[in-house]
Structure 1
């Protein structure tokens, strides 16, 4: 239907997702149309199956004339600016860990989508993500989305790209759902010639919105689709994704507060929260970044490069290490934290800082910062209010930062040596957590001690007990003697396992 709006292009505005709930095979979608100025107002309603209630799905405004010259210019210029922003990576070393395979993408970030439209992650720098799209046999598996004009595949690819950027950027791993979009632009002639090859998702800002007792996380993006020659052929501009810590039974409450509303109401509410002087909030609260030790090792032999990244005291400390492996690990940890802090500073105050102007002090304690005179006052104030944590193991250094005390730990995925589990697991933990997940509990307990700032100050790790465990979602760890409770969040890929911990309210 959408492809018939224009022979060459498609333009849709004021898109609102009212109820992004998975359809049952027996459910039907009914479309309702009404004239509007300009264009055609479209309502999508779901006829329920079984005991499900009727619900609105999507409303939008279709422009039958398709894209005009201004829309085409916005498409081309927007995609170009996003690519330039991707090239302005503040990190001075090419990070191999910013590239993930399709298997890693769908095992780590997605949970069983019907169609795996994404291919491999090309590049990512926390502000822009670029991912190839399915091709070959993977594209053949997406055939239902390709007929008749490829619009369904293009939109699915754009939403998957934005969803992945949400998970990477915001680090809120439970779920994200689309809330609305300002404009959708598609070159139908190009889509008929072949599916898009690359999706580029550009992060714009993030903020909270309170809905009843819930505080929902919002993130806004521009998403661009390009063909195999690099030509932009589609975009979703002003796409807003909404997420939260606990997924409610009725997802309508995430988007419309349970009440269907007219086109544009949701988008105007979003726009009102973004004044010209407003600062995007860090949602999710606990970002982290990983840097491969192998990526930074070549810097050890380049004094000029080190002087751009480390303060004089840090360079002096680096020279004190006898072994190159230890120097590389120490350097990777410092660069990971400085890169993360620079990103956060850009988000909060729109200003970066010279890496050599900040000294990270961490000797058997939580990292602290010594801020040099060359750092802007507003940036210095922001940085000094953060709690920091660094860890490295198995060739990977990780770092995190938060307004509240936080800890992080990383371990390579390897079998635990015989007898080691008895030193840190309680009898109850061995019963409720399967052996393949015991390593995650070790990292959780290490992260808890770092949150307390005591490192190995807790000699008996069995006194830190983890309840129900799961990856990519918060779980609880308690210290029985003090009664303190901590929230933990564990992630893993094919080679490493990372856990964050922070004291629960």
Structure 2
């Protein structure tokens, strides 16, 4: 099961000011924050860490990790770092300020930001002989041009958008784009590959739009030749999407999740 958490920058007054809430960061992360000079970048980084650490800590408590130093202790006992490809990972703080002795936790983690919201998703990275990698994305629903969909969408995706009513067009475009981002995060290529190497089916024949505000709905994922070079023949993908109201009576965000699962060799 994918665990997820979405939070707003307005959920904590320190985040709005670009300051770390008490007990959130360890010394290494405090040093990292001090290097971020752009206010929006500071706020996004803090909101993402705050959300991710709360999700990881809740997962450790729920999974019965008795005696784990993160359980029942401040969030500063967890570290959220990034691999060389940009993908985040969760680790235990061993007390080394250099970060050279981090103990990774056995979870796949994904973090996304959009317009003062952060979404984090988590899944165990291995279960039996199955390896898993999760991707998550949150996007503000906004109008995108015809040129945008022609440049980044497959023919089937373009047909889906062009068949939409004016009220749904922006939602469909945002959902397709967000789902592509989630898949590419799960594969750990990001936007370094052609986005048309991922095909997204919103499964509109079986999805009730009214339900998207209250529960995740499935979406279809097709992998093209270029992206196929980054996955094995034993790889499967699953995806979901839903809408989020940002305080108004209409959807303001799209959230998507994707998981890539492989049989370990």
Does the TM-score normalized on the shorter chain lie above 0.5?
yes
Distance 1:504 1:368 in 2: 17
Contact 1:406–1:451, Cα closer than 8 Å, also in 2: yes
* Residue number in structure 2 paired with 1:428: 156
Residue 306 to residue 486, structure 1, CA distance change in 2 (3 Å): same
Q: Tell whether 2:94 aligns with 1:373.
A: yes
Displacement after TM superposition at 1:450 (Å): 0.5
Unpaired runs of at least 5, structure 1: 1-284, 375-379
Distance 1:426 1:386 in 2: 32
Aligned match for 1:492, one of 233, 243, 247? 243
Q: Deviations over 1:433-475 (max 9, x none)?
A: 53341210100000001101121221x1111112352453222
* Residue number in structure 1 paired with 2:183: 448
TM-score (norm 2): 0.72
SS in 1 for 2:23: helix
Distance 1:294 1:420 in 2: 31
Contact 1:306–1:315, Cα closer than 8 Å, also in 2: no
Residue 296 to residue 328, structure 1, CA distance change in 2 (3 Å): farther
Residue 299 to residue 474, structure 1, CA distance change in 2 (3 Å): closer
Residue 323 to residue 302, structure 1, CA distance change in 2 (3 Å): closer
Unpaired runs of at least 5, structure 2: 96-101, 125-131, 245-250
* Residue number in structure 2 paired with 1:502: 259
SS in 1 for 2:147: coil
Aligned match for 1:340, one of 47, 55, 58? 55
Larger RCO (CA under 8 A, 6+ residues apart): 2
Distance 1:388 1:308 in 2: 21
Aligned match for 1:388, one of 79, 86, 109? 109
For the pair shown, which has the larger CA radius of gyration, 1 or 2? 1
* Residue number in structure 2 paired with 1:358: 78
- Within a 5 Å distance, the mapping from 1:467-478 to structure 2 comes to 467-469=201-203, 470=207, 471=212, 472-478=216-222
Residue 504 to residue 387, structure 1, CA distance change in 2 (3 Å): closer
Distance 1:454 1:296 in 2: 33
Contact 2:9–2:16, Cα closer than 8 Å, also in 1: no
Distance 1:451 1:318 in 2: 26
Q: Tell whether 2:200 aligns with 1:466.
A: yes
Residue 302 to residue 415, structure 1, CA distance change in 2 (3 Å): closer
Contact 2:202–2:218, Cα closer than 8 Å, also in 1: no
Contact 2:18–2:43, Cα closer than 8 Å, also in 1: no
Residue 486 to residue 398, structure 1, CA distance change in 2 (3 Å): same
Displacement after TM superposition at 1:492 (Å): 0.6
Aligned match for 2:42, one of 314, 321, 327? 327
- Within a 5 Å distance, the mapping from 1:98-497 to structure 2 comes to 285-296=1-12, 298-299=14-15, 306=21, 308-349=23-64, 351-362=71-82, 364-373=85-94, 384-403=105-124, 404-432=132-160, 434=164, 435=169, 436-458=171-193, 460-469=194-203, 470=207, 471=212, 472-481=216-225, 482=228, 485-493=236-244, 494-497=251-254
Residue 301 to residue 414, structure 1, CA distance change in 2 (3 Å): closer
Distance 1:454 1:366 in 2: 9
Residue 300 to residue 319, structure 1, CA distance change in 2 (3 Å): farther
